[in-house]
Amino acid sequence: MELRTLRYFVAVAEERHFGRAAARLHMSQPPLSRAIKQLEAEAGALLFSRSSTGVALTPVGTVLLDEARALLDHADRVRVRVRAAAGVASLTVGILGDGADPGVSRLAAVYRRSHPGVGIRVRDADLSDPTCGLRAGLVDVALTRAPFDETALTVRALRTDPVGVVLRADDPLAGRDQLRLAELDDRRWFQFPQGTDPVWQSYWNGGRPREGPTVRAVQECLQAVLWNGTVGLAPLGHDLPADLAVVPLTDMEPSRVVVAWNRGDTNPLIRSFVRTATAAYLP
């Protein structure tokens, strides 16, 4: 079994869909399907049960997925050790001002255990750049939130979080079980600096132009709510100060935690980081 074919298999297994896997691999679907059929012939058994909505792993496929991930991780570690011998075993990771996310801590622990020889440099990015410096060449890979302009980037979803509106605890709406965006139309919302990715700005403004104070960091957002009564959106599940409350929004698309890197970058350290992140964020 070739490593390339195993990478194809893992992509289909994780995406549960040939079309999405082909897009992730930057290839067309027919050669991907042929490669999986050849792999099934080598295995002597079906690896996926197929339906009109996607695919599911068979028991044989489940076993192969574990083994394939282990083989690919080992292959990446070999490349990392070779790069380390050449003095280049380091990776710069951009993180979007969300260090309280437990997924980051879990990923860091897993990555340290599996890649002890790799030096990780972390760049903590503010909310004005959802790519965390990726386009500017400041980082190799980014842990961030979508949506944003994905041109020339490869983006892999790790988790989705429902979104709510952050309000002062004494706000008349703070006691509600849920809200709709239209109920906030008369409020001031925080804004990101001029030049911020418009896709990103539009999402955090609920899909329409708003007015309000400019902020760059999570703490500035919270302080704008606390001091000025400004409203803003935030993923649910994060701890907030006692003076603030978050109310779920029923008509807001969830926020996706993603890992992103420059399309076409073949650095094996990035590939192993993405694979480790995908596994670490599994529920």
Tens-digit pLDDT profile for residues 107-154 = 888 888 888 878 888 888 888 899 998 887 888 999 999 999 999 999
* pLDDT of the residue at 23: 79
pTM of the model: 0.70
**195 phi and psi angles, rounded to 5 deg:** 95, -5
82 has a pLDDT exceeding 90: no
Task: Please state at what angle helix 29-43 crosses helix 3-15, rounded to 10 degrees.
Answer: 110
Q: Which residues contact 226 (CB under 8 A, 6 or more apart)?
A: 168, 241, 243, 244
What domains are defined for the chain?
A: 3-86 (1.10.10.10), 89-159+254-283 (3.40.190.10), 163-253 (3.40.190.10)
Confidence of residue 159 (pLDDT cuts 50, 70, 90): very high
CB 69 within 8 A of CB 11: no
76-93 average pLDDT score: 70
- Residues 37 and 30: their CA atoms lie apart, in Å, by 11
Residue 283 DSSP label: -
Confidence of residue 98 (pLDDT cuts 50, 70, 90): low
Buried b (16+ CB within 10 A) or exposed e, 115-154: beebeeebeebebbbbbbebbeeebbbbbbbbbbeeeebb
CB 47 within 8 A of CB 66: no
45-74 average pLDDT score: 88
CA torsion angle for 119, 104, 74, 76 (degrees, to 10)?
Answer: -60
183-199 average pLDDT score: 91
200 has a pLDDT exceeding 90: yes
CB 140 within 8 A of CB 261: yes
Q: Per residue in 209-221, pLDDT tens?
A: 899 999 988 888 8
CB 164 within 8 A of CB 116: no
